[in-house]
Amino acid sequence: MVENYDIVIVGAGLIGASLALDLAQRSSLKIGVFERGAPLEISDGVEASNQRVVALGRPAISVLKRVGVFDLLTPNQAYPYHQMTVWDENSNGELSFNADSIGQTELGYMVDALACTKALQTNILAGLHDNLSFSFGADLQGMALSQNGAEVILADESIKARVVIGADGANSWVRRQAKIFANRLDYKQNGVVAKIKTSESHRDCAWQRFLSTGPIAALPLKDNFSSIVWSLDSVSASEVVSLSDREFKSALSSAFDYRLGNVLEVSERQIFPLLSQRADSYSAPSVVLVGDAAHSIHPLAGQGANLGFKDLDCLSDLLTSSKRGDVGSLALASHYERKRRRDNEQTDWLMSALNATFQSRLPLLLALRGVGMNAINSQEWLMSLLAQQASGTLKESELT
């Protein structure tokens, strides 16, 4: 059996599911979503054990509102933050900016990625859009590409599409099938994540301190909990994960310079490798890549998911404004890549440069970065730009 689609999206995670719902409600295009895994099933215990959250700015939140998911998230699953404070262990440098400087009530939201993905998949499974079909547990076996379309081979059927969109993460099957090479940079670091509760209020502020061993961040959550991300070399990360709860709480309190007081509660710790990756191209004949399938970056400023949402917003605009016969065209794919590659690569470069700079122990550089941070902090217009960057509202034209 052969089924025809205008668009096939491989991957029903945060980006793929959002893109599918957005396209389905903005167009009459026939869309199929194919996900290798089963739909997420989240019990209260599983959700509570999920330590990783994503800091989403206004463009990402706008997409989630547009597809009818954001308002389904509870305050435990999407918590607004108003301010960000960054300081350096090895100098007196400090930056602090807030949403007031850009006339907003918040810089963004700390969103439980697991809960948000579950809500998106639930909307897909609800069958709210006649032009959107789905297959979870899909047995994807191969793909044949041409300028005239793509054929995706599954165990029990063949699917034809004008374009296949790879939204299937950093180890993208679609990218490999399209023979698109991805350059990977291993930072030789791991991120240690956990949820904590502190004796002092986080004041709806995201806190980040640059340590000699790597940055550590506390992202504010409801009821004075925070989600921490601690970047360490692989050996140190393993040592931190193996600490007793008492030792870990003491190490965290000290790492945050006691600005949040003492750490009172701590969850189970989780660990993941820190990598960045860039696909040589965001497209091949009848294939387009979005999100981590096209690029992934160091989580230093929490911009990875935001870049993915910007990708899907741009691609959705292009697809919904095009003629049906043009959705798989080389011209559309090239236009998408021109609009998104510069922003993605600039952010990747900046995160890598900041990570390297703040790990340096050269005395002159230590002094200069403290002076530089304080000089930036004294300039309102620069702090406003940082606030716009954090909220996802900074336009590229303002950087040049």
Q: Reduced to 3 states, what is the DSSP secondary structure of residue 260?
A: coil
Each residue's pLDDT tens digit, 335-386 = 999 999 988 887 766 666 565 555 545 444 444 555 555 655 555 655 566 5
Indicate the pTM of the whole model: 0.89
Confidence of residue 164 (pLDDT cuts 50, 70, 90): very high
Choose the weakest-confidence range: 42-51, 87-96, 298-307: 42-51
Number of H helices, E strands in the chain: 11, 20
Sort strands 158-166 and 2-10 into parallel, antiparallel or unpaired: parallel
Please state, as a whole number, how many other Cβ atoms lie within 10 Å of the Cβ of residue 127. Answer: 10
Confidence of residue 4 (pLDDT cuts 50, 70, 90): very high
pLDDT attached to residue 99: 87
Distance between CA 242 and CA 269 in Å, rounded?
Answer: 9
Each residue's pLDDT tens digit, 131-158 = 999 999 999 999 999 989 999 999 888 9
Query: What DSSP element (H or E) covers 355?
Result: helix 330-357
Nearest by Cα to 196 from 165, 162, 219, 163: 219
Residue with tokens 């963004």: 108
User: What letters, b where the CB count within 10 A reaches 16 and e where it falls short, cover 147-156?
Assistant: eebbbbeeee
CA atoms within 13 Å, Cβ hemisphere of 58 = 17
Q: Is the dihedral of CA 291, 33, 113, 96 positive or negative?
A: positive
Distance between CA 221 and CA 290 in Å, rounded?
Answer: 28
The pair of three-digit structure tokens given for residue 285, joined into one six-digit string: 């004949």
pLDDT attached to residue 265: 96
pLDDT attached to residue 101: 80
Q: What is the residue-averaged pLDDT of the chain?
A: 86
Choose the weakest-confidence range: 5-9, 78-82, 204-208, 346-350: 346-350
Q: Is 28 exposed, middle or buried (0-12, 13-18, 19+ CB in 10 A)?
A: exposed
In angstroms, what CA-CA distances link 108 with 84, 88, 302, 333, 387? 11, 23, 11, 30, 10
Confidence of residue 2 (pLDDT cuts 50, 70, 90): low
- Asked whether the beta carbons of 275 and 191 are under 8 A apart, the reply is no
